Chains A and B, each alone.
Chain A
């Protein structure tokens, strides 16, 4: 029986495959990144699209849905940037180089980088939400000429919580990209913006007719970001959001990730806002 019509995975989709930790390092106090490679001599490549996620399995503990944060054109290894918040992510954070974990994936929809060609791109992210968009940023920077103006608006809790600070600086220097970073709470060293991420739209010249927005962060932040984008004239159809729900199977069978009629694991996590407009503001949906 062909139980994997998607063609995305090699084995039974419920069976994790062994992958080896090549590198693990802390990005901030509670966010770390793991680099994974296949644990076999056989030369195999990872194939995924920006915005997709994997189920990472810590032996004996369980699985967690984690989006991929690496450059999808580099196929020898995978990066996952993970917020240490629960049992599984806590165990994952204690891994050492050479340890083996399980992986199922990739799953889900991806950021619309094809449809975005020729358009101005406005990425708005909050907190760990930068991680699932980093593959898109890599892609756009690599194919910079195919896209119009490129803006990245990023909100973090404090200056110490800013992810990928070195990389942000080098993107700023090397590429045609406007990056604005804000923090909720500043410290004495901070010379940047303070306040919620949506205020950063005031520092950006948007051409709403040709802008596509990609938004990821806590749901409340996405709600305000979407409202603000619409106020600036960006159409709902051109706004994409990435949603988070409880996921157990990632195959559309277990029911946990239901969001109205959608299964976030299979129909999402990336949705055109126009698909979820009617339900986005319903509490406890």
Chain B
């Protein structure tokens, strides 16, 4: 373990940029912390924190100059690995047929700075989604294989966080190149640094890094522990697959539907939701066409549409699909839950539906006592 100061964090950004990486990090934009390209540590949300509750998110000024003093915002790293809108190919009419051209744009080389432990877990989950037993999504995997990850451990939790119960945080254990824990105390403002890859080690060697003292390591561990201890929400995942599989007819689904707006916010902010659709567009001549892939949501009516109509016409069925998929059938499909406990779907739900309490309502209904035990 080593420690670095702020200027060395800046140096990391510089080295990565020189190495051809587009460095992505947290910035303040439109009243939220979002992920975008950064040039230096000056772009980071210095002194900003966030307050979150069901249906609410706001930035607050902190009384320190922390760089990572917020938790998570509405965006996740999936927007770079699995872009919201992406052109797959374009084609032009040729005689009675057509010719397809693929874009020859180079694959982006990203360095992600500030990946939270839950977000790292979300990336591992999407790794499984876009590389199944039959096919591999080429864009996702090409970007993924080039990525440099600097994770930042959480030293506080938002009231919507429940990563501890989902076993995905607050400390990143593997899968990063470098991990940082930000410490601000009487001794100063520093980052305890851990490297997990060759690339991470090579980069660290180029810094003015000190060997971390026992005291510094302890301070970092305590900061992470405070995030864990302050976590208010949790999800009881015991037997959750069976619980949801056996409760497709539970009255709570209809009750949720009286509040749920089917707006799809939860699926858009979720770092693991992967559903997408294909759109074919043509210009006015009808001779040029493009195929775009864009995010879709199981909350839309079109999502389940076939020639005879939609399979899930009610909001009840659509919410049930989302939650049962996320917490139950995901396990059958990918060997892991689809939830990392980041709490985004709770904060960004306009009516404040809380996935953890909806699970509890189903679990605690009299019928489910047996599964509950």
| A positions within 8 Å CB-CB of B | 1-6, 12-16, 18, 20, 39, 59-63, 83, 85-86, 89, 98-100, 102, 218, 244-246, 248-249, 251-256, 258, 260-261, 263, 266, 278, 282-285
Instruction: State which of A2, A282, A284 has its C-beta within 8 Å of the C-beta of B313.
Output: A284
| B296 near A59: Cβ-Cβ < 8 Å | no
| B289 near A59: Cβ-Cβ < 8 Å | yes
| B135 near A253: Cβ-Cβ < 8 Å | yes
| B137 near A18: Cβ-Cβ < 8 Å | no
Q: Is B124 at the interface (CB under 8 A from chain A)?
A: no
The minimal Cβ–Cβ distance linking B328 to chain A, given in whole angstroms, is 8
Instruction: State which of B93, B286, B306 has its C-beta within 8 Å of the C-beta of A246.
Output: B306
- On chain A, the residues within 8 Å of B134 by CB distance are 5-6, 251-252, 266
Interface residues on B, range: 35 or more
| A60 near B308: Cβ-Cβ < 8 Å | no
| A1 near B278: Cβ-Cβ < 8 Å | no
| B positions within 8 Å CB-CB of A | 88-89, 91, 93, 95-98, 100, 102, 129-130, 132-138, 141-142, 245, 248-249, 274-278, 280, 282, 286, 289, 296, 298, 303-308, 311-314, 316-317, 321, 325, 329, 332-333
Query: How far, in whole Å, are A71 and B100 apart by their CA atoms in the complex?
Result: 30
Instruction: State which of B277, B312, B313 has its C-beta within 8 Å of the C-beta of A248.
Output: B277
| A245 near B311: Cβ-Cβ < 8 Å | yes
Does more than half of chain B's interface fall in helix, strand or loop, or is it mixed? mixed
Query: How far, in whole Å, are A151 and B134 apart by their CA atoms in the complex?
Result: 34
| A282 near B96: Cβ-Cβ < 8 Å | no
The minimal Cβ–Cβ distance linking A104 to chain B, given in whole angstroms, is 11
Instruction: State which of A16, A260, A283 has its C-beta within 8 Å of the C-beta of B329.
Output: A260
Q: Kindly report which residue of chain B lies nearest to residue A2, judged by CB atoms.
A: B136
Query: How far, in whole Å, are A218 and B282 apart by their CA atoms in the complex?
Result: 33
| A256 near B275: Cβ-Cβ < 8 Å | yes
21 contacts between A and B (CB under 8 A): A4-B136, A5-B135, A20-B97, A61-B280, A83-B307, A85-B308, A99-B97, A100-B96, A100-B97, A244-B306, A245-B306, A245-B311, A246-B306, A253-B130, A255-B275, A256-B296, A261-B329, A263-B333, A266-B134, A278-B245, A285-B317
Instruction: State which of A18, A278, A284 has its C-beta within 8 Å of the C-beta of B97.
Output: A18
Query: How far, in whole Å, are A115 and B89 apart by their CA atoms in the complex?
Result: 41
| A59 near B133: Cβ-Cβ < 8 Å | no
- On chain B, the residues within 8 Å of A266 by CB distance are 132-134
Query: How far, in whole Å, are A89 and B308 apart by their CA atoms in the complex?
Result: 13
Q: How many A-B contacts are there with CB distance less than 8 Å?
A: 133
| B138 near A258: Cβ-Cβ < 8 Å | no
Instruction: State which of A60, A86, A258 has its C-beta within 8 Å of the C-beta of B325.
Output: A258
| A285 near B311: Cβ-Cβ < 8 Å | yes
| A255 near B307: Cβ-Cβ < 8 Å | no
- On chain B, the residues within 8 Å of A245 by CB distance are 304, 306, 311
- On chain A, the residues within 8 Å of B286 by CB distance are 60
| B96 near A99: Cβ-Cβ < 8 Å | yes
- On chain B, the residues within 8 Å of A254 by CB distance are 275-278, 296
| B282 near A60: Cβ-Cβ < 8 Å | yes
Instruction: State which of A5, A59, A83, A255 has its C-beta within 8 Å of the C-beta of B98.
Output: A59
- On chain A, the residues within 8 Å of B321 by CB distance are 258, 285
- On chain A, the residues within 8 Å of B97 by CB distance are 18, 20, 39, 59, 99-100
- On chain A, the residues within 8 Å of B312 by CB distance are 284-285
- On chain A, the residues within 8 Å of B298 by CB distance are 255, 258
Query: How far, in whole Å, are A208 and B282 apart by their CA atoms in the complex?
Result: 54
| B132 near A252: Cβ-Cβ < 8 Å | yes
The minimal Cβ–Cβ distance linking A222 to chain B, given in whole angstroms, is 13
Q: Kindly report which residue of chain B lies nearest to residue A88, judged by CB atoms.
A: B280
Query: How far, in whole Å, are A245 and B302 apart by their CA atoms in the complex?
Result: 12
| A100 near B129: Cβ-Cβ < 8 Å | no
- On chain B, the residues within 8 Å of A100 by CB distance are 95-98
Query: In the complex, which of the residues A6, A60, A283 has the most CB atoms of chain B within 10 Å of its own CB atom?
Result: A60
Instruction: State which of B93, B133, B138, B303 has its C-beta within 8 Å of the C-beta of A256.
Output: B303
Instruction: State which of A5, A18, A253 has its C-beta within 8 Å of the C-beta of B133.
Output: A5
- On chain B, the residues within 8 Å of A246 by CB distance are 303-306, 311
Instruction: State which of A6, A59, A253 has its C-beta within 8 Å of the C-beta of B93.
Output: A59
The minimal Cβ–Cβ distance linking B267 to chain A, given in whole angstroms, is 10
The minimal Cβ–Cβ distance linking A19 to chain B, given in whole angstroms, is 9
| A85 near B98: Cβ-Cβ < 8 Å | no
With A98-B96, A255-B298, A285-B248 in contact, is A248–B129 under 8 Å at CB?
Answer: no
